[in-house]
Structure 1
Amino acid sequence: MTAGPLAPPVRRLLVWRHGRTEWNAHGRFQGQLDPPLDDEGRAQAARTAPHLAAVLHDQDVVLVSSDLQRAVDTAGALAPLLGVPVHVDERLREHGLGSWEGLTRDEVAERHPGQYEDWLAGRPVPGRGGEAQAEVAARALAAVADLPRAATAVLVTHGGTAGRLVEALLGLGLEHKRIFGPLGNCHWSELAFQASGWRLMRHNLYVPAAGQLEGGRRPASDRGSFPGPSATDVPDAPRSGATPEEAPPAPVEDADAAG
């Protein structure tokens, strides 16, 4: 009989993406650049924090944020409601995208057409710079391993890093990438550690604005629970059968530009 996986310092993780920025709204790749939350992003954090605080009431919680300001400010909406400090860990920052950072999808296609075609085809993107997906996953996993002991950790991070972390915790290989849609702005996923390892309990949860779901429909300005593909979803190694349909350019209102 083999032993189960080594128990982590926490048994429950809430992986929470920061609120919206103006760059998110316009489909501009952020990577490790640091535009601030826009008005909607601050409103998202303000309405989500009380919900998370109620979920975590009377629990032993540690709150850890990426060092990028859009994540720190999102975490700052929750910290006083929990009565805990915000710990900052740069290992939770966004996937570095090299020369694509600060550009829109159209600008990437115009300035780096070969790289853009590689991305659409699901191939590695030589010459872009930045980080490989495996590097992002490794540093995020290290951040989890170094958490202080607590019942629950809330990790405030970014779309690309959240995706790579969840995939790594679940042990997903390249053949299982892109099973889960990327987190929308201020959405979160919940994972629990059990005897067999980490399990994804809930994914892409969010708190809608008042009146947002009137008539059963979301307004066009809301990214909703199913944001478009992310630039950081490109595999590090070629996959057989990769097609442009796996990573199409997303429309502006649905663009999940990294961040």
Structure 2
Amino acid sequence: MRLLLWRHGRTTWNDIGRFQGHADPPLDDTGRAQVAAVAPLIRAMNPDVVVSSDLQRCRDTAAGLGLPFRADARLREVDLGRWSGLTGAEAAARYPEEDRAWRTGEDIPRGGGETYRDVARRAGELFDEVRAEQASAASTPDPLIVFVLHGGTARALIGRVLGMPPQLWWHFGPLANCRWSLLRLAEGGFRLTEHNAAPLLTGKVGRAGSGLSQALLPSQGAPTESDTEPVHLPK
């Protein structure tokens, strides 16, 4: 059994560095180009089931596969409460104690929202359900489950599936927009076999300047703190 975690394409909030959480900004032009470039590769892996976060940026990413999928709110990004919509600088100015705690690795409910443990609990519950469904169906010997989700949710779910303590989850670098992580079931449990994976693309799509080679450049698709992933500072 394999679990592929695919992060949504870029949004305008990603581009300008706003925390998203449960807010629902759509994909921007770059995000749509990313989906057009990457979706055929994931479709070619022949997913057995696709489940998306119910937020628009993930549903539009999942739709790019051209396959049936269902949406589930348990794959949403961590709820950031009052932090949602703020830039990193704004959050640090308004909530300095929370900002310092988060940046030193504390799993706190920023803005009155959720912790990453909360996210891992709800996303893990969904994974357990889908895993049981696929095991009972036994349609293929090595089924592929695709979750279309968010950076923080992916990190929390990776840690949970691997059985790692939450204080170590931040060691997983956050997924860039439209990149994926792959976990495979082996003897003894799941292993992380790919992380932050993406194709090396060249060529042009759409209007001038929206080439595939640009769609996944670090400056346009790299992890940003708008998706709640800090660069941890020493305590």
- So what's the TM-score if we normalise by structure 1? 0.76
Q: Matched residue of 1:122: which SS?
A: coil
Give the counterpart letter for 2:7 in structure 1. R
Matched, 1:24 2:14: yes
Partner of 1:163: 155
Query: What is aligned with 2:36?
Result: 46
Do 1:65 and 1:87's aligned partners in 2 also have CA atoms closer than 8 Å?
A: yes
C-alpha contact 2:17 2:224 (8 A) present in aligned 1? no
**Contact conserved, 1:182 with 1:230, CA < 8 A, in 2?**
no
| CA shift for structure 1 position 194 | 1.7
Query: Which residue of the other structure, out of 228, 233, 244, is the alignment partner of 2:233?
Result: 244
* 2:198 counterpart (194, 206, 224): 206
Equivalenced residues, count: 216
Q: TM-score when scaled to structure 2?
A: 0.83
Conservation of the 8 A alpha-carbon contact between 1:61 and 1:152: yes
Deviation at 1:144, TM superposition (A): 0.7
**Structure in which a larger fraction of residues adopt helix:** 2
Contact 1:18 1:185 survives alignment (8 Å): yes
Cα contact 1:49–1:77 (8 A) shared by 2: yes
CA distance in 2, matches of 1:219, 1:124: 30
SS class of match (1:31): coil
Give the conservation status (yes or no) of the 8 Å contact 1:19–1:45.
Answer: yes
2:63 is the counterpart of 1:76: yes
Partner of 2:52: 65
Q: 1-side partners of 2:172 and 2:149: how far apart? A: 17
Residue ranges of structure 1 left out of the alignment (5+ in a row): 1-10, 235-242, 247-259
Match of 2:206 in 1: none
User: Could you list the per-position Cα deviations for residues 112-131 of structure 1 after superposition, in whole angstroms to 9, with x for gaps in the alignment?
Assistant: 22222222333354662111
- Contact residue 97 and residue 130 of structure 1 kept, 8 A: yes
Q: Provide the identity percentage.
A: 45
Cα distance in 1 between the residues matched to 2:22 and 2:162: 25
Aligned to 1:87: 70
Paired amino acid for 2:96:
P
Does the 8 A contact of 1:182 with 1:229 survive in 2?
no
- TM-aligned CA deviation for residue 220 of structure 1: 6.1
Q: 1:176 to 1:116 in 2, by over 3 A?
A: closer
Alignment-mate amino acid for residue 177 of structure 1: W
Corresponding residue for 1:137? 120
Q: Is the 8 A contact 1:67 1:93 kept in 2?
A: yes
Q: Secondary structure at the match of 2:126?
A: helix
Residues 88-147 of structure 1 deviation map (CA, whole Å, 9 limit, x = unaligned): 111001110111001001111222222222223333546621111111001111111111
Rounded Cα–Cα distance in structure 2 between residues aligned with 1:35 and 1:89: 17
Contact 1:14 1:188 in 2 (8 A): yes
| The one of 111, 117, 132 aligned to 2:94 | 111
Q: Amino acid of the residue matched to residue 169 of structure 1?
A: V
Asked if structure 1 preserves the Cα contact closer than 8 Å seen for 2:92 and 2:99, the reply is yes
Aligned-partner residue type, residue 192 of structure 2: L
What RMSD, in angstroms, separates the aligned Cα atoms of the two structures? 2.4
Between the aligned partners of 2:100 and 2:190, the Cα distance in structure 1 is: 35
Separation of aligned partners in 2, 1:213 and 1:42: 11
- The answer on whether the counterparts of 1:160 and 1:230 sit within 8 Å (CA) in structure 2 is no
Structure 2 residue matching 1:114: 3-state secondary structure: helix
